[in-house]
Amino acid sequence: MDWTMWVEWIIKGFVLCLILLTGFAYLTLYERRALARIQVRVGPNRAGPQGLLQPIADAVKLIFKEELTPAKVYKVVFILAPVLTVVPSLIIAAVIPLGDKFIMFGREITLHVADINVGVLYLTSIASIAVYGIVLAGWSSNNKYAMLGGIRSSAQMISYELSLGLCFVIAIILSALGNPDGGSMNLREIVDAQRGMWFAVYQPAGALIFMIVTLAEVNRAPFDMPEAEQELTAGYHAEYSGMKFALFFMAEYQKMIVISMIAATLFFGGYREFWFMSDWFGGIFSVDRFWFLGPVYLLLKVVVLLFFMIWIRATWPRIRYDRLMSFGWKVLLPLCLALAFITAVGILLVDFVGNPLIIWGVPVLSILCLLVAVAFIYRDLRRKSHGRV
């Protein structure tokens, strides 16, 4: 193998880690300022102009903060657990295409670390590893509250991973539309399949459920039961302090960024422009003409999706744990199965009949299924509020 390929991989990996670490720091500022606006108050604005140096001030504070390790913890696992949580949040982004390829120094440069044919499987496998860090943190702390938080996290993440996997299946099925070779698990090919229309338009219910499920996967409100302070003091990280404590939140915020990148890639065209913008002004807004527009489009989509997560945290109360599990198993899982079935049937009918207009039955039926699920949830909640089981 050419040595320049190794150099390219090292540079790409370094740049990707730098992007995620910087994004983590300023996502905390973005969230605090957005929450302040939503709650009609003033956010952090003292450290630097408009508070832009606040993440640096927080980092310095945590670096010099005293770290306390309880006497009865399982020390090796206690120290390794934050690392096991952070590492998957970094390496999962290796297969996400950040932009289109371009020529530099006489060679073709691609804006992703690894281009593998089973990129979707890579995402699901790495996402399932993240639960180990949280579970081991709770177990090794030798604290009953931390242990309960770890058990809750494992049950929650495993339950919602089923619906997450089906959302991946929906995107893979949609990538077969108009493709004689069938669907693909390669993320770059999934992005290219959305040149004519985003998958979120064909399957809006699937895109919405993907965002809901990912909130549960990263333990974000209203699914943050593993760290419910009113019951578990702080949950799985109750015994952590200093930089070990910061690593858990670094992993959470980095996973928020990566999840938004995955959602943009699977359902919102990835690094490509809006499908109707490709011919504007002679294609001046097209990624095919100017490759550097790809990362810009992806960044804008990630910022919007991150605001969705922040808005949910600011407005929705925490879900009771038994209802959280019921929602995952009794609502989201059957709904995702129905959406995957509707999508597959729609693609088959388009190929069999040869009429591309049939595909528009997929979003209509999907939204109807979503409304039926909402109606059942509303009826069930009303029955429970009146004391009927």
Count how many domains the chain has: 1
Reading the block at residue 154, the tokens are 């494992």
Reading the block at residue 242, the tokens are 């200093």
Given a contact cutoff of 8 angstroms between Cβ atoms, the answer to whether 343 and 206 are in contact is yes
Residue 54 placed within a domain: no
C-alpha to C-alpha distance for 27 and 21, rounded to whole angstroms = 10
pTM of this prediction exceeds 0.95: no
Residue 285 placed within a domain: no
Please tell me whether residue 88 adopts helix, strand or coil conformation. Answer: helix
Residue 49 placed within a domain: no
Q: Which residues neighbour 229 within 8 Å (Cβ) at sequence distance 6 or greater?
A: 235
Residue 103 placed within a domain: yes
Given a contact cutoff of 8 angstroms between Cβ atoms, the answer to whether 150 and 134 are in contact is yes
Report CA Rg, the chain: 22
The DSSP bridge partners found for residue 108 are 103
C-alpha to C-alpha distance for 262 and 267, rounded to whole angstroms = 8
Per-residue pLDDT of the chain (389 residues; tens, 9 = 90+): 577 778 888 888 888 889 998 999 899 999 999 999 998 888 888 888 888 888 888 888 888 887 888 888 888 888 888 888 889 888 999 999 988 877 777 777 888 888 888 889 899 888 888 788 888 888 888 888 888 888 888 888 888 888 999 999 999 999 988 676 777 888 999 998 888 889 999 999 999 999 999 988 888 878 887 776 666 666 777 888 888 888 888 888 999 999 999 999 999 988 988 877 766 666 677 887 888 888 999 999 999 999 999 999 888 888 888 888 888 888 899 999 999 999 999 998 988 887 888 889 999 999 999 999 888 888 877 776 666 54
Whole-number pLDDT of residue 367: 93
Whole-number pLDDT of residue 281: 66
Residue 60 placed within a domain: no
Dihedral angle of Cα 272, 274, 280, 284, to the nearest 10 degrees:
-30
Given a contact cutoff of 8 angstroms between Cβ atoms, the answer to whether 253 and 89 are in contact is no
Whole-number pLDDT of residue 386: 65
Helix or strand run (H / E) with residue 330: none
Instruction: Give me the helix-helix angle, 119-140 and 144-174, nearest 10°.
Output: 170
Residue 284 placed within a domain: no
Whole-number pLDDT of residue 144: 83
Supply the range of the domain harboring residue 331: 66-270+296-385
Residue 233 placed within a domain: yes
Residue 164 placed within a domain: yes
The DSSP bridge partners found for residue 228 are none
Please tell me whether residue 372 adopts helix, strand or coil conformation. Answer: helix
